Amino acid sequence: MRLVEGVAAVDDVGDFVARIGDIADEAGVTVQVFDARYVVSRRHLERAVELADRAIERGENVARDRAVEILCYVAGRRQIDRALTLGVDEGRTPVVALVDGDDAEAEADAETALRELLDPAETLDDYDDELVRDYFEIQETELAATAGSVEDLVLERVALLDVEK
């Protein structure tokens, strides 16, 4: 799995998503782009990919498309429309793009193409605490009751998606 960080300047979401789809299709890899303000860590994305692949292998996936299944796990939601909140919107958005496939050269080609769409920036470890806590419904009392961090609680939400099926 490769991650590409940057800022996306999106005039038309449909056009941007189509361009991402073209990159994925041309390289033969899975590509999913996230609003980086909702992604708490690399581990958040790694765990979502692991669980999405396991769901697909077991025939328990809710989405036909692997990229959308990964999106659902990153979001900790079975409802695709609710998970789309973690995608890009019109305007300038800090993003992290996930590229995953079986061929390192194909991943590198997709990574290069994605970099051409984004203004360079480090975005991965700069999530919006308030936005994340609101989206994942993490209350102050929950944080106080555990020795874990916001990241730990988000990873728990991602893992609990399997239980909610």
Percent of the chain with pLDDT over 70: 98
Domain with 102 in it: 2-161
Quote the DSSP letter at residue 143.
H
CATH at residue 122: 3.30.2380.10
pLDDT at 34: 98
Quote the DSSP letter at residue 53.
H
pLDDT at 163: 67
**pLDDT tens digits along 131-164:** 999 999 999 998 889 888 999 999 999 998 876 6
In total, how many domains does the chain have? 1
Confidence of residue 28 (pLDDT cuts 50, 70, 90): very high
Residue range 103-111: mean pLDDT, rounded? 97
For residue 100, with 0-12 CB atoms within 10 Å meaning exposed, 13-18 middle and 19 or more buried, which class applies? Answer: buried
pLDDT at 45 over 60: yes
Quote the DSSP letter at residue 164.
T
For 36-90, list the strands marked E by DSSP.
none
